[in-house]
Amino acid sequence: MHKRSLGVVGVGNMGLAMALRLCELGHTVRVRDLDPAREALAVAQGAQRAATPALLAARSEVVIVAVVDAAQVESVLFGEDGAAAAMRAGSCVVLCPTIGPASTESFAARLAALSLDTIDAPMSGGPARARAGTMSLMVACADEVYERQRDLLHALADPVFRLGSRVGDGARAKLVNNLLAAINLAGAAEALALAERVGLDAARMLDVIEHSSGQSWIGSDRMRRAVAGDLAPRAHTTLLAKDSALALAMAANTGAAPLLGTVAAATFKAAVDAGHGADDDASLLAFLRDRDSR
């Protein structure tokens, strides 16, 4: 893969990991984040800081957007000093946030009016896998755009799931996945809280679950941390609260009302309302312990 000039807007846990991976591969990487401390982490390991999304975009062949929600994407691309107006025709925006498919489609249409390509590419797997290039990307875009950016996408992720040419299908796939993640995590936390209430050792119970029919990746990953008391935020509780709500809204547009998804979304909303929004989502165990002790 030839060395390129790339931009990453939003260097939170996932964006920083992607930026550092691209630096390590020898690309020129410019970063922009509202938090100067996050920018400093990237600059310390080889990235360059851009003062605005527009300045970053003017010198980037591809702009990777790794912010949290649709409002932030709107600001980054089309707000004051936004990236879109500064990009050269034929450049590409890679949309990595978990947002609704209608938002993705709208952003892509507005970018196309400026002769800019869009890759709908939500990500999954966590920052450690993003840093290693082993996270997953759920990619939807025009075939010719995919071919132009194939090397970049495969440098960032393994696997890259090619979902087709309909922009918005990446967003749809990510919401389906994250609704199941919310269901699995809520179920794992509830089961482990029950194990503790009936007098079982939580760590030993996890050993049983991980080698039995109740195992799930997200349950093991988060509950191992919860039992160890390691709640340093990797994925804030607000994220699955947001994502499960978006998934239910997408479902409602088709006339569906997923029962387990509705319960999981309500559980995450309640955890956020109880003050766990900024905590790692492994804190769901602590929330359920507190709830069940009342």
pLDDT one-digit tens code per residue, 46-70: 999 999 999 999 999 999 999 999 9
User: What CATH number did the domain enclosing 281 receive?
Assistant: 1.10.1040.10
Active-site residue flag, 3: no
Same domain, 225 and 150: no
- Domain count for the chain, please give it: 2
β partners of residue 65:
9, 95
CA distances, 105 to each of 93, 150, 222 (Å) = 13, 21, 33
User: What CATH number did the domain enclosing 91 receive?
Assistant: 3.40.50.720
Same domain, 115 and 52: yes
Same domain, 19 and 158: yes
Same domain, 118 and 247: no
Res 36 pLDDT > 90:
yes
Res 24 pLDDT > 70:
yes
Q: Domain end: 167, 192, 207, which one? A: 167
- Output 34 or 290, whichever has higher pLDDT: 34
- Output 234 or 105, whichever has higher pLDDT: 105
Sign of the Cα pseudo-torsion (236, 241, 244, 246, in order) = negative
* CA 203 to chain CA mean position, Å: 28
Element (H, E) at 32: strand 28-32
CA 74 to CA 69: how far, in whole Å?
Answer: 9
Same domain, 21 and 158: yes
Q: Which of 3, 174, 242, 269 is catalytic?
A: 174
CA-nearest of 122, 112, 123 to 87 is 112
Q: Domain end: 117, 149, 167, which one? A: 167
Res 37 pLDDT > 90:
yes
Res 266 pLDDT > 90:
yes
Same domain, 10 and 135: yes
Residue at 68: amino acid letter: V
User: Where residue 237 falls among pLDDT bands split at 50, 70, 90?
Assistant: very high
Res 234 pLDDT > 90:
no
Same domain, 37 and 95: yes
Same domain, 104 and 186: no
Same domain, 73 and 90: yes
**Segments forming the whole domain that contains residue 143:** 5-167
User: Where residue 233 falls among pLDDT bands split at 50, 70, 90?
Assistant: confident
Res 293 pLDDT > 90:
no
Mean pLDDT of 173-196: 97
**pLDDT per position as a tens digit, 113-168:** 999 999 999 999 989 999 999 999 999 999 999 999 999 999 999 999 999 999 99
- Mapped onto helix, strand or coil, the DSSP state of residue 284 is helix
Model pTM score: 0.93
Q: Domain end: 130, 146, 167, which one? A: 167
Same domain, 192 and 285: yes
Same domain, 208 and 271: yes
Same domain, 163 and 182: no
Mean pLDDT of the chain: 96
pLDDT at site 292 = 74
